[in-house]
């Protein structure tokens, strides 16, 4: 079946194959589930550690027609090859994903740089599996925290650390605490500490088990509603934040505290709201989800075009306001785009790959960045 495809040209030859040092975009293709394995064919395949082929022309079962959408014109799809910083195939583990993604930015956090990690993709593509995981296969958040604590322990003699975590959701353009739910919380911007969610509870888990317990407890509080499109549809963005404060134990700058935070976000399903037939409240939900995802896309595009003189539309949604000081500038950013391998989801997969492809263009430009980030810059 591979004979019609061009041979892999290797990482270097794909157009726009690399992102800036501060940005990583990876794609994870999950294994097919039972329903997909039987009736559908694989349209997305990892052909190397850095490249995938998207080919919706592979033979479909009789009677299967693609949705009628302007972007999904079968004639426009030849084999599409995409290069990313990493492509994880169906046999990859959450540990593998951690090692190639947040593994390299924990160090940055300990050096005072904010960072953000997104799991992007349609409902059912594997976002929550990747970020949160389950007891047999803990997710990227777990591995990141283990790594963070390990590195902190190694530096204990020279520095004092203070680590706290929070878990919130952005739902319907409102921010709620997932660990101590009590109404909507406002987002504020502070000159010294940056963006904060006022009244959000902070926690200091004493062990990895306690952290996992907290995450699963929080996840149960996420707003989820059955819709016509998918009974498990997740309509909220779950935002896990780690705040790291540190100071030298014995130095002339004894009083200086270096602050950094890590935001790990399990985004709401990226499928288009038009897929559901719901009206009223549910319809508004859909519009707001699109608003946050759209705004995130616009922010990423604006950063990607490197038009820092221009306007970065952080204020267009709650999610982007929340991430304002953790996205772009000197912040490390990781996007994990999750896709199904199956022809059943090829439109979602195509849209996700395009979104991820755009995200590769973010370039960091420390010199033109001001505001909160300057605080951490000045501390070096």
Distance CA(171)–CA(256), nearest Å, equals 36
In the bound state with Mg ion, the residue whose beta carbon lies nearer, of 169 and 347, is 169
The answer to whether 281 is annotated as binding is: no
Binder among 31, 37, 61, 181 for ligand ADP (CB under 6 A): 31
Q: State which of residues 219, 234, 342, 376 lies at the interface with ligand ADP (CB under 6 A).
A: 234
**For binding to Mg ion (CB under 5 A), which residues are involved?**
127-128, 234
**Partner in contact with 126, chosen from Mg ion, ligand ADP, none, beta carbon below 5 to 8 Å by kind:** ligand ADP
| Binding of ligand ADP by 144 (CB under 6 A) | no
Residue 338 is a binding residue for ligand ADP (CB under 6 A): yes
Q: Which is nearer to Mg ion, 100 or 128 (CB)?
A: 128
Which of ligand ADP, Mg ion, none is residue 338 near (CB under 5 to 8 Å by kind)? ligand ADP
Residue at token pair 């293709």: 29
Q: Cβ closer to Mg ion: 90 or 199?
A: 90
Residue 372 annotated as lining a ligand binding site:
no
Nearest to ligand ADP of 96, 173 (CB atom): 96
46 binds ligand ADP (CB under 6 A): no
Q: Kindly report the three-state secondary structure assignment for every residue of the chain.
A: CCCCCCCCCCHHHCCCCCCCCCEEEEEEECCCCHHHHHHCCECEEECCCCEEEECCCCCCCCCCCCCCECCECHHHCCCEEEECCEEECCCCCHHHHHHHCHHHCHHHHHCCCCEEEEEECCCCCCHHHHHCECCCCECHHHHHHHHHHHHHHHCCCCEEEEEEEEEEEEECCEEEECCCCCCEECEEEECCCEEEECCCCCECCCCHHHHHHHHHHHHHCCCECCCCCCCCCECCEEEEEEEEEEEECCCCCCCCCEEEEEEEEECCCCCCHHHCCCCHHHHHHHHHHHHHHHHHHHHHHHHHCCCCCCCCCHHHCHHHHHCHHHCCCCCEEEEEEEECCEHHHHHHHHHHHHHHHHHCCCCCCHHHCCCHHHHHHHCC
Does residue 30 belong to the site contacting ligand ADP (CB under 6 A)? yes
Smallest CA-to-CA distance from 50 within 360, 326, 276 is with: 360
- Interface with ligand ADP: number of residues (CB under 6 A): 14
Q: Is 223 annotated as a binding residue?
A: no
Q: How far is the CB of 254 from Mg ion (least distance, A)?
A: 44
- Contact status: 270 vs ligand ADP (CB under 6 A): no
> In this complex, which beta carbon is closest to Mg ion, that of residue 53 or of residue 212?
212
Q: Is 112 in the site for ligand ADP (CB under 6 A)?
A: no
Q: Which residue is nearest to ligand ADP (CB)?
A: 126
Q: Does 127 bind ligand ADP (CB under 6 A)?
A: yes
- x/- mask, ligand ADP, residues 180-219, rule CB under 6 A, reads ----------------------------------------
Q: Any contact of residue 121 with ligand ADP (CB under 6 A)?
A: yes
Residue 124 touches which of ligand ADP, Mg ion, none (Cβ within 5-8 Å per kind) = ligand ADP
Interface residue with ligand ADP among 109, 125, 196, 296 (CB under 6 A) is 125
Residue 24 has, within 13 A of its CA and on its CB side, a CA count of 24
Q: Cite the annotated binding site for ATP by residue number.
A: 121-128
For ligand ADP, the binding residues (CB under 6 A) are 30-31, 33, 121, 123-129, 234, 269, 338
Q: Which residues fall in the annotated binding site?
A: 121-128
């Amino acid at each position: 079946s591979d004979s019609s495809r061009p041979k892999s040209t290797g990482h270097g030859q794909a157009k726009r194959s690399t992102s800036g040092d501060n940005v990583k975009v990876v794609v994870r293709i999950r294994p097919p589930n039972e329903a997909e394995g039987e009736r559908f064919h694989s349209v997305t395949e990892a052909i190397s550690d850095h490249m995938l082929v998207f080919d919706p022309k592979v033979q479909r079962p009789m009677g299967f027609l693609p949705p009628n959408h302007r972007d999904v014109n079968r004639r426009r799809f030849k084999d599409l090859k995409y290069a990313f910083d990493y492509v994880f195939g169906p046999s990859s583990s959450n540990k593998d994903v951690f090692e190639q993604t947040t593994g390299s930015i924990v160090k940055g956090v300990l050096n005072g740089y904010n960072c953000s990690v997104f799991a992007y993709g349609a409902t059912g593509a594997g976002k929550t599996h990747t970020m949160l995981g389950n007891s047999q296969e803990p997710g990227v958040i777990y591995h990141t925290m283990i790594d963070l604590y390990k590195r902190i322990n190694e530096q204990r003699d020279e520095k004092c650390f203070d680590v706290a975590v929070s878990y919130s959701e952005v739902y319907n353009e409102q921010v709620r605490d997932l660990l101590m739910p009590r109404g909507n919380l406002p987002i504020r911007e502070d000159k010294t500490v940056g963006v904060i969610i006022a009244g959000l509870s902070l926690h200091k888990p004493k062990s990895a088990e306690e952290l996992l317990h907290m995450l699963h407890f929080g996840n149960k509080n996420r707003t989820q509603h059955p819709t016509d499109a998918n009974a498990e549809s997740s309509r909220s963005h779950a935002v896990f934040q780690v705040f790291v404060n540190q100071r030298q134990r014995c130095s002339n700058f004894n009083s200086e505290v270096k602050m950094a935070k890590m935001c790990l976000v399990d985004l709401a399903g990226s499928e288009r709201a038009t897929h559901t037939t719901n009206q009223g409240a549910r319809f508004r939900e859909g519009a707001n989800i699109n608003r946050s995802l759209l705004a995130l896309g616009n922010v990423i595009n604006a950063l990607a075009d490197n038009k820092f003189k221009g306007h970065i539309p952080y204020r267009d949604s709650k999610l982007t306001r929340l991430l304002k000081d953790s996205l772009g500038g000197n912040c490390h950013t990781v996007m994990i785009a999750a896709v199904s391998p199956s022809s059943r989801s090829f439109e979602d997969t195509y849209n996700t790959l395009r979104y991820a492809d755009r995200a590769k263009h973010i370039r960091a430009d420390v010199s033109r960045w001001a505001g909160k980030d300057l605080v951490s810059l000045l501390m070096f």
